[in-house]
Structure 1
């Protein structure tokens, strides 16, 4: 497997990986969601194409203490982040090519370019306040 699934036994490992230098790509899903279940193979395929990034699968119901306040409107939802900057937060169509291009385009941005986008977008500014996976994990472990 090219991604980790967040579980009660590996929370510290995931938290440590989130604090690293790699880009973070998280899939927020639910066990009962058929679309999420079928998207798992797509997520793994995309992760295999980006071994330099940290891919994590998070069941939002099993880990509500981490992501419970996030406004996940539909499944699957991807969260892409670098350092403390959230580059993308939104629903993803179950298309491996589209997911690959999204990860590729977001990770091609520098932190300075992302800062500029954040300054010019209320939605992106909101992502920084509400969707920072590093902060959410730190708070859950505190």
Structure 2
């Protein structure tokens, strides 16, 4: 496997791996969701294409205490962040090519561009406050 699955037993280990200057791509899904079950293989392929990033699979029901009040509108929901800057948070089509291009586009941004985008709209500011996986795991 190229991604990690967040569990109660490995939270501290994953939190430690999230530390430092790295890109994180998390998929927030639910076990009962058929689309999520199908997307899991696509997510693994995406992780294999980006071995320099940390990919984390999060079942929002199994990890409800981590996710808290985070509003997941539909599945799959991707969270892409670099360090503490959440670059993207939202529902995506279950298309590996689209997800790959999204990851590439975010990685192409300079640190200054990413920081500017992080605060550019009320929605993006809410991502920084509510959707930061590092912060959620530290709570």
Q: Tell me the equivalent position of 2:51.
A: 51
Per the normalisation by structure 2, the TM-score is 0.96
In structure 2, stretches of 5+ residues that fail to align are none
Instruction: Kindly state the Cα deviation for residue 124 of structure 1 after the two structures are TM-superposed.
Output: 0.6
Compare 8-17 and 52-61 and name the one that shifted more: 8-17
Q: Tell me the equivalent position of 1:8.
A: 8
Query: Any idea what SS the aligned residue of 2:128 has?
Result: helix
Correspondences of 1:91-106 after superposition (within 5 Å): 91-106=91-106
CA distance in 2, matches of 1:22, 1:118: 16
Per the normalisation by structure 1, the TM-score is 0.94
CA distance in 1, matches of 2:81, 2:127: 10
Count how many residue pairs are aligned between Structure 1 and Structure 2: 139
Correspondences of 1:19-98 after superposition (within 5 Å): 19-98=19-98
CA RMSD of aligned residues (A): 0.9
Q: Which runs of 4+ in 1 moved over 6 A?
A: none
